[in-house]
Amino acid sequence: MLVLFLNRLDDRWLKRIEEMKNKYPGITFKTRHEGSLDSLLSMADVVVTARLSAEEIQKAQKLRLIIVPMAGVNALDWQAIRERGIQVCNCHSNASAVAERALALALSLLGRVVEYDHDLRYGVWHGYSVHGGEKDYWVSLQKKKVCIVGFGHIGQHLARLLQPFSCEIVAVKRTAPMVKDRITSDLDWAIETSDVIFITVPLTKETRNLFNRERLFRMKNKFLINVSRGEVVDEQALFEALRDGVLAGAAIDTWYTYPSTDRECVLPSRFPFNTLRNVVMSPHVGAHCEEALNSLMNETFEILEKYIVTGELMNRVDPECQY
């Protein structure tokens, strides 16, 4: 069996790979720098990666299992995976960190923390010191009606973090009954009855553009926090709903335009979100902390080792649902 690591590897990963080599001498472990990619793929039985194209899958004729060392699996070519019957497992141990980030973004947005920080750096004050009045009020999260769209690992962690704020929480889950025990499949009802909406769903064919223009423009005076994927929310409609004062504000960690190796400095959208005062912008770092990254690495090796020893799969991704 050949296990091929195509993900980004630091010293911690390389150390763990060496440990696996010593523990399982009958299995070959390789990284992408130990030969040509085409040659490595042609020999691989297991690949650890978050991205794999149809062309790469076609070259990996022995491939039986893809382990994604994170939660998101939308960068895989699922048509090719289904055609080949390849198994996919992913990791969820970063959920608590992403939930923490979502809460931090919500507090920053409602509390106008970034806006006031920016102004005070230029000597512009708000509030009591300048008799700012109502226009300088920030919004408390205490006792707000909150909608969590997607009630998987992240959503459930987030619900627990919100408990000290005495929020009234309704969770949206596709497989839930219409309304039962504050969990519902009726997204529009949940949004309508909420003040703050968190998006934590995976990106699938069902969730792409879930927050379309019609839905966004019905969200008058509501706050939106997205730690899911940018494509879940209509890019232009989101900008216009914020610009025109339909949405009270948005905190966004996942975007539409990303850096590349030849273009590192790039704005995260085709639209000038950076000019809006009611937006908190975050560069897709929901799980970019040492604690979360260590947990994801450990979970990846746990999945791999269980497969090597027993042939069993942990955290198997449904190829139809893609989560």
Q: Which CATH number belongs to the domain containing residue 27 in this structure?
A: 3.40.50.720
Same domain, 32 and 112: no
Domain of residue 137, residue span: 95-281
Q: Locate tokens 């006792």: which residue?
A: 143
Residue 175 has what pLDDT? Answer: 77
The neighbouring-strand residues paired with 147 are: 170, 197
Nearest to 41 by CA among 66, 23, 75: 66
Nearest to 196 by CA among 174, 217, 168: 168
In a domain, 208, yes or no: yes
Q: Quote the pTM value.
A: 0.94
How do residues 214-257 score in pLDDT, each as one tens digit? 999 999 999 999 999 999 999 999 999 999 999 999 999 999 99
In a domain, 317, yes or no: no
Determine what percent of the chain is predicted with pLDDT higher than 90: 95
Same domain, 115 and 38: no
Residue 105 has what pLDDT? Answer: 98
How do residues 151-210 score in pLDDT, each as one tens digit? 999 999 999 999 999 999 999 998 765 554 589 999 999 999 999 999 999 999 999 999
Same domain, 124 and 273: yes
Residue 126 has what pLDDT? Answer: 97
In a domain, 212, yes or no: yes
Nearest to 66 by CA among 55, 284, 17, 78: 78
Residue 176 has what pLDDT? Answer: 67
Residue 261's pLDDT band, with cuts at 50, 70 and 90, is: confident
In a domain, 210, yes or no: yes
Same domain, 99 and 79: no
Residue 314's pLDDT band, with cuts at 50, 70 and 90, is: very high
11: tokens are: 């010293």
Same domain, 276 and 130: yes
How do residues 101-137 score in pLDDT, each as one tens digit? 999 999 999 999 999 999 999 999 999 999 999 999 9
Residue 182 has what pLDDT? Answer: 86
